[in-house]
């Protein structure tokens, strides 16, 4: 997918003024955070599980080559085929080739963020296949020709009214002409349409939540059951997965599953957890004839080798964006690529480059809420700061900020000058603000005021000056001494 991250500031402002989007965001914001908090409170061992999850992920990443080989062997043993894609282009080519070889016409898809990352849909449609997203949220944004705005609820930015319009417009061709306004009606209509697609599909493509190395099993979680129908009904099942999805054992996957849904939607478990291993065996009532796994690197092995390795622990739960006040204000599309929010602000520059996506690591207050809720304890603010450091070293940021910082460091390294400068500044600002006590505008400080706020004026005297005055005043010094004496007396009384 083509990145628009360079235009983040404009896209963010646009999002802030999009009233429909703001309605959708406000509705979503509280839901996730509250549900997660309730789920976490109901599981006393949640933090211990997080520690265990970090261990599992770190261990796997440390031995990633080993576990990938183990996984690939297990897949082949079960009759499946493993394909290695080092780039997005490779991944697209491999998937298109499998579909061509299967003589496919209709392809159903389960939700897959890595599929979005490498641009599977466009490649397949460009090759002449009909592609249908079966996750309801993905189905909606496919109709709207939009990318997902959230990694687990891709259509979170859409209101019911917008979805009603989309269905009305796109379902006419199926003879469904009545405009629907109630959610259950709309869900039923989508279900009706998707059912025929499932039955007609030649190929089903899903992502992976976990790949179990010991058994060659793919695990996906859904709430709609669309994953089961996508991987078991068509003749061919293709799994697209990032190489970091592998875990050693089913036990490890189970540990991570306990964290995933709680962190994502506040559920103990998602409605469906689907395990698929290889193609249909003799005697199996259903399942695909062919089972393919496309293991996608696309920059992940580079991350493994550098200071962003911890990012590969990410299990794509979305908790970081659900708790991010910036995401909550602007939604996912402003970020301009596939992954939004805190995790996206790290993955996007690593994928499309800091020059293109330099805004993202900067558009963060470093408030730390994301790291607080991350089930695998990724130090997201630290990684964002590391990206800012790289940006600084590459001279990519705004020149004015760079000069400003240099001037500030010089100023703060000269205490006498600093004392004088701050005294003058405090006095001047207090005088200029006058009786009002605050500024409504100020030259060279436009950014502050563009945030729709005044600037409080200083009291007038710096603390350092006030402190000096106090030190020279014998009365004040005596008071300080009395404070200490009282304190000693209190301690003596306490001791008795």
Partner 1 sequence: MSPSSDGTVPAEGKAPSQVHPRVGLFITCLADIYRPNVGLAAVTLLERVGCTVEVPQSQTCCGQPSYNNGDLDGAARTARHTIAAFEEFDYVVAPSGSCAGMLRDYPRLFEAEPAWRQRASDLAAKTYELIAFLTDIRGLQAVEADFPHAVTYHDSCHGLRAMGIKAQPRRLLASVRGLELRELPDAEVCCGFGGTFCVKYPEISGRMVADKATQIGETGAAAVLGGDLGCLLNIAGRLGREQTGVRVYHVAEVLAGMADLPGLGDPPAAGGLKDPTGPAGGSR
Looking at the Cβ atoms of 443 and 451, the one nearer to partner 1 is 451
The least distance separating partner 1 from the CB of residue 457, rounded to whole angstroms, comes to 7
Distance CA 183, CA 59 (A): 44
What's the min distance (Å) between Cβ of 141 and partner 1? 24
Residue with Cβ nearer partner 1 (21 or 88): 21
In the complex, what is the shortest distance from the CB of residue 359 to partner 1, in angstroms, rounded to a whole number? 8
H helix intervals, 17-112 = 19-41, 46-62, 64-77, 88-101
CB of 79 or CB of 421, closer to partner 1 = 421
Rounded to an integer, what distance in angstroms lies between the CA atom of residue 246 and that of residue 320?
22
Q: What is the largest CA-CA distance in the chain?
A: 97
Residue 329 to residue 451: CA distance in whole angstroms = 13
Tokens of 61: 């990443």
List Cβ neighbours of 337 (8 Å cut-off, separation of 6 or more).
1, 3, 4, 5, 344, 348, 351, 352, 357
Q: In angstroms, what is the minimal distance from the CB of 485 to partner 1?
A: 9
Backbone dihedral region of 130: left (phi > 0), alpha (psi from -120 to 50 degrees) or beta? beta
Residue 200 beta carbon to partner 1: minimum distance, rounded to whole angstroms: 45
* Paired residues of 211 in beta bridges: 218, 246
173 Cα distance to chain centroid = 36
| Minimum CB distance to partner 1 smaller for 13 or for 269 | 13
SS3 364: coil
To partner 1, the closest distance from the beta carbon of 149 in angstroms equals 16
Of the candidates 225, 229, 232, 234, which has an alpha carbon nearest to the alpha carbon of residue 287? 232
436 token code pair: 């009002």
What is the C-alpha to C-alpha distance for residues 352 and 357, in angstroms, rounded to an integer? 7
Is 179 or 470 the residue whose CB approaches partner 1 more closely? 470
Shortest gap between Cβ of 417 and partner 1 (angstroms)?
10
Q: By C-beta, is 253 or 426 nearer to partner 1?
A: 426
Nearer to partner 1, 12 or 28 (CB): 12
**Would you say 7 or 16 has its CB closer to partner 1?**
16
Q: Which is nearer to partner 1, 9 or 128 (CB)?
A: 9
**Cβ contacts of 357 within 8 Å, gap of 6 or more:** 3, 5, 6, 8, 336, 337, 348, 349
| Residue (of 226, 255, 214) closest to 110 by Cα position | 226
């Amino acid at each position: 997918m083509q990145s628009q991250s360079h235009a983040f500031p404009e896209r963010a402002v646009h999002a802030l003024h999009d009233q429909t989007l703001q309605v959708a965001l406000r509705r979503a914001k509280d839901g996730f955070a509250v549900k997660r908090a309730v789920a976490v409170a109901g599981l006393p061992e949640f933090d211990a599980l997080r520690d265990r999850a970090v261990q599992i992920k770190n261990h796997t990443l440390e031995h990633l080559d080993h576990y990938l080989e183990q996984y690939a062997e297990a897949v082949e043993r079960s009759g499946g085929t493993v394909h290695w894609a080092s780039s997005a282009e490779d991944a697209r080519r491999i998937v298109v080739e499998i579909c061509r070889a299967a003589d496919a016409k209709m392809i159903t898809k389960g939700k897959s963020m890595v599929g979005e990352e490498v641009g599977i849909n466009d490649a397949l449609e460009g090759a002449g296949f009909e592609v249908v997203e079966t996750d309801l949220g993905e189905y909606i944004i496919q109709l709207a020709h939009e990318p997902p705005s959230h990694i687990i609820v891709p259509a979170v930015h859409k209101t019911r009214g917008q979805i009603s319009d989309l269905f009305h417009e796109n379902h006419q061709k199926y003879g469904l002409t009545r405009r629907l306004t109630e959610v259950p009606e709309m869900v039923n209509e989508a279900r009706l349409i998707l059912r025929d697609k499932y039955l007609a599909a030649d190929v089903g493509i899903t992502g992976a939540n976990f790949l179990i190395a010991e058994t060659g099993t793919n695990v996906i979680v859904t709430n709609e059951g669309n994953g089961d129908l996508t991987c078991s009904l068509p003749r061919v099942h293709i799994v697209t997965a990032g190489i970091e999805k592998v875990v050693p054992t089913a036990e490890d996957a189970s540990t991570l599953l306990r964290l995933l849904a709680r962190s994502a939607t506040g559920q103990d478990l998602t409605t469906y957890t689907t395990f698929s291993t290889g193609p249909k065996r003799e005697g199996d009532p259903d399942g695909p004839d062919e089972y393919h796994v496309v293991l996608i690197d696309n920059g992940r092995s580079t991350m493994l080798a550098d200071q962003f390795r911890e990012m590969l622990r990410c299990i794509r739960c979305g908790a970081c964006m659900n708790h991010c006040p910036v995401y909550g204000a602007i939604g996912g599309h402003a970020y301009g690529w596939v992954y939004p929010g805190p995790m996206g602000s790290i993955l996007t520059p690593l994928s499309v480059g800091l020059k293109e996506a330099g805004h993202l690591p900067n558009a963060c207050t470093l408030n730390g809420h994301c790291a607080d809720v991350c089930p695998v304890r990724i130090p997201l603010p630290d990684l964002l700061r590391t990206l800012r450091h790289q940006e600084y070293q590459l001279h990519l940021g705004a020149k004015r900020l760079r000069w400003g910082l240099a001037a500030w460091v010089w100023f703060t390294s000269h205490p006498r000058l600093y004392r004088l400068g701050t005294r003058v500044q405090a006095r001047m600002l207090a005088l200029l603000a006058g009786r009002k006590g605050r500024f409504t505008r100020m030259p060279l400080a436009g950014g502050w005021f563009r945030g729709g706020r005044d600037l409080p004026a200083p009291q007038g005297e710096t603390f350092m000056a006030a402190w000096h005055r106090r030190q020279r005043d014998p009365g004040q010094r005596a008071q300080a001494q009395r404070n200490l004496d009282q304190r000693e007396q209190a301690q003596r009384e306490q001791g008795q």
